[in-house]
């Protein structure tokens, strides 16, 4: 955003990366790509494979931004929109944008544990069957710092997208989850779970 | 909360912070929206808006030595809550910079060593090598065994790569 408007910043870019600045290249966050796709109607009627799956959408602090960007468009609601177009049912819950503790999970795990379990309990109370996040760091923190009694499967939303879209291309992938989503996936007839 | 005794005044402090963070401290209404929204507030020595007040009083040493500035992860929740567009996260960021450059006592050395391990790794490989970062951090803390079971589980699930990443 700033790079586009500032000649000075473009110069810094050129000296840092030793490449000319190309003003036609536009950086598009993954999220915005999905907005575009949804605007063009590409996310509609995808078969409803996630039918009835109750989802707690979790953005964490990913969409929070400095006041300078207050007037930019915001993307809250996109996980809900995408998941609903695949047949999922997003729930309303209070922790959708509460930070998971990021790196404090390493250096002050007790703080992160407290936050993560608060978030997980909130999701369970809201009646969700799983949490869908858009951030890999949140995904990891929710899985590793969650106490056994609060465990709820966590998916990155691209995982559910691929599940709903491509059928069995993700075989063997879901066993890499630290919170095993197998029973939920079987219950919802989502994918044959490959053991091994 | 305990009383904060004003026993030092660094008149330049608030100007320094404003210059580094590009935030306008005098816009703060002390409405506590930032402190109410901050997920880490309950573990902080001083609340985020208290930090602003302390900067205004010139309590440089107290602020730079506090745990608050290190427990802030810069998640920007406060900046979203603030009705008056004070960039709290940027203020915390500049306070961390000042604490390092002025060799102030670091209240949370563990957090700083973790940051350093991450930055070192990026300098070496062009991106992060998680296993190396964790090993370095664990050695710096002389704490090799906490989360050991977790690390092994993550290795088994192929969540940590053994060789460093190729750029």
pLDDT tens-digit profile of B35-79? 999 999 999 999 999 999 999 999 999 999 999 999 999 999 999
Hey, what are A76's tokens?
């809250």
Q: Are strands A154-156 and A54-58 parallel, antiparallel or unpaired?
A: unpaired
* Residue A72 in contact with partner chain B when CB distance is under 8 A: no
pLDDT at position A167 is 57
Rounded to whole angstroms, the Cα distance separating A187 from A49 reads: 13
DSSP secondary structure string for all residues of A63-75: T---GGGTTS---
Fold assignment, A50-66+77-196: Rossmann fold (3.40.50)
Per DSSP, A178 falls in state: S
Contacts of A97 in chain B (CB under 8 A): 77
Q: Does the pLDDT at position A73 exceed 50?
A: yes
Among B80, B135, B146, the residue to mutate for chain A (most A Cβ within 10 A): B80
Distance, in Å, from the CA atom of B145 to the CA atom of B138, rounded to the nearest integer, reads 8
The whole-number average pLDDT for the span B109-113 is 92
In this model, does residue A80 exceed pLDDT 70?
A: yes
At A166 the pLDDT is 65
Q: How confident is the model at residue A4 (pLDDT cuts 50, 70, 90)?
A: confident
Q: Could you tell me if A191 and A164 are in contact, meaning their C-beta atoms sit under 8 angstroms apart?
A: no
A129-174 pLDDT, tens digit per residue, is 999 998 889 999 999 999 999 999 999 988 888 777 765 556 677 8
Residue with tokens 């919802």: A188
| pLDDT (0 to 100) of residue B116 | 92
CB < 8 Å to A101, chain B: 39-40, 73
Mean pLDDT of B100-106: 93
| Interval A112-127 mean pLDDT | 95
Give the best residue of A17, A60, A63, A64 to mutate against chain B (max B CB count within 10 A).
Answer: A64
- pLDDT band with cut points at 50, 70 and 90 for residue B29: very high
pLDDT at residue number A195 = 42
**Phi and psi torsions of A89, nearest 5°:** -120, 100
Judged by a CB distance cut-off of 8 A, whether residue A76 touches chain B is no
Residue contact A61–B85, C-beta within 8 A: no
Which range has highest mean pLDDT (A12-26, A79-93, A155-169, B104-118)?
A: B104-118
Residue A85: both structure tokens together: 């177009």
Q: What is the pLDDT of residue A44?
A: 66
The pLDDT, as a whole number, for residue A194 is 47
Is the CB of A176 inside 8 Å of chain B's CB atoms? yes
pLDDT at residue number B7: 80
Best interface-test mutation with A: which of B21, B34, B45, B73 has the largest number of A CBs within 10 A?
A: B73
Q: How many CB pairs under 8 A join A and B?
A: 78
Domain limits, chain B = 13-101, 109-156
- pLDDT tops 70 at residue B26: yes
Helix (H, G, I), strand (E, B) or coil at B19: helix
Residue-wise pLDDT for A14-72, tens only, equals: 888 888 887 777 777 777 787 777 777 776 666 667 788 899 999 999 888 888 888 88
More confident residue, A164 or A194: A164
pLDDT > 90: what percent of chain B?
Answer: 63
Q: What is the reported pLDDT for A46? A: 63
Q: Is A194 on the interface with B (CB under 8 A)?
A: no
Q: Which residues contact A58 (CB under 8 A, 6 or more apart)?
A: A79, A95, A96, A119, A123, A131, A132, A133, A134, A138, A142
- Per the structure block, which two tokens stand in for A149? 């009694």
Q: Is A33's Cβ below 8 Å from some Cβ in B? A: no
Contact B75 A64 (CB under 8 A): yes
pLDDT value of position A154: 94
> Average of pLDDT values for B116-140?
87
- The pLDDT value recorded for residue A77 is 85
- Residue A175 above 90 pLDDT? no
Any CB–CB contact under 8 A between B107 and chain A? no
Q: Which range, of A83-87, B13-17, B98-102, B133-137, averages the lowest pLDDT?
A: A83-87
Distance, CA of A61 to CA of B74 (rounded, Å)? 9
Torsion of CA B21, B26, B29, B35, to 10 degrees: 30
Show the CA angle centred on residue B96, arms to residues B145 and A110, nearest 5°: 35
Its CATH class, for the domain covering B13-101, is mainly alpha
* pLDDT for B145: 78
């Amino acid at each position: 955003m700033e790079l586009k408007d500032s000649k000075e910043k473009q110069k810094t870019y050129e000296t840092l990366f030793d490449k000319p600045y190309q003003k036609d290249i536009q950086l598009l966050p993954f999220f915005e790509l999905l907005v575009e796709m949804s605007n063009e109607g590409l996310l509609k009627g995808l078969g409803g494979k996630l039918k009835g799956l109750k989802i707690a959408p979790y953005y964490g602090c990913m969409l929070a931004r400095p006041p300078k960007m207050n007037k930019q468009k915001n993307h809250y609601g996109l996980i809900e929109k995408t998941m609903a177009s695949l047949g999922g049912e997003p729930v309303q819950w209070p922790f959708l944008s509460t930070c998971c503790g990021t790196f404090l999970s390493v250096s002050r795990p007790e703080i992160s544990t407290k936050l993560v379990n608060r978030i997980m309990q909130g999701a369970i109370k809201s009646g969700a069957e799983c949490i869908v996040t858009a951030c890999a760091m949140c995904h990891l923190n929710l899985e590793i710092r969650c106490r056994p009694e609060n465990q709820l499967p966590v998916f990155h939303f691209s995982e559910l997208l691929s599940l709903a879209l491509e059928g069995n291309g993700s075989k063997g992938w879901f066993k890499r989850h630290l919170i095993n989503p197998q029973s939920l996936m079987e219950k919802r007839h989502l994918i044959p779970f490959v053991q091994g | 909360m305990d009383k904060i005794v004003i026993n030092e005044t660094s008149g330049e402090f608030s100007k320094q912070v404003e210059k580094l963070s590009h935030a306008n401290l005098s816009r703060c209404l002390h409405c506590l929206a930032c402190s109410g929204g901050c997920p880490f507030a309950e573990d902080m020595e001083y609340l985020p808006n208290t930090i602003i007040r302390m900067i205004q009083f010139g309590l440089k040493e107290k602020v730079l030595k506090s745990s608050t500035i290190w427990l802030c992860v810069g998640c920007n929740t406060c900046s979203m809550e603030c009705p008056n567009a004070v960039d709290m996260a940027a203020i915390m960021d500049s306070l961390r910079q000042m604490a390092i450059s002025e060799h102030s006592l670091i209240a949370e050395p563990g957090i700083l060593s973790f940051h350093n391990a991450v930055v070192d790794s990026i300098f070496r490989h062009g991106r992060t090598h998680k296993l190396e970062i964790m090993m370095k951090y664990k050695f710096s803390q002389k704490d090799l065994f906490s989360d050991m079971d977790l690390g092994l589980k993550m290795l088994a699930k192929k969540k940590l790569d053994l060789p460093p990443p190729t750029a």
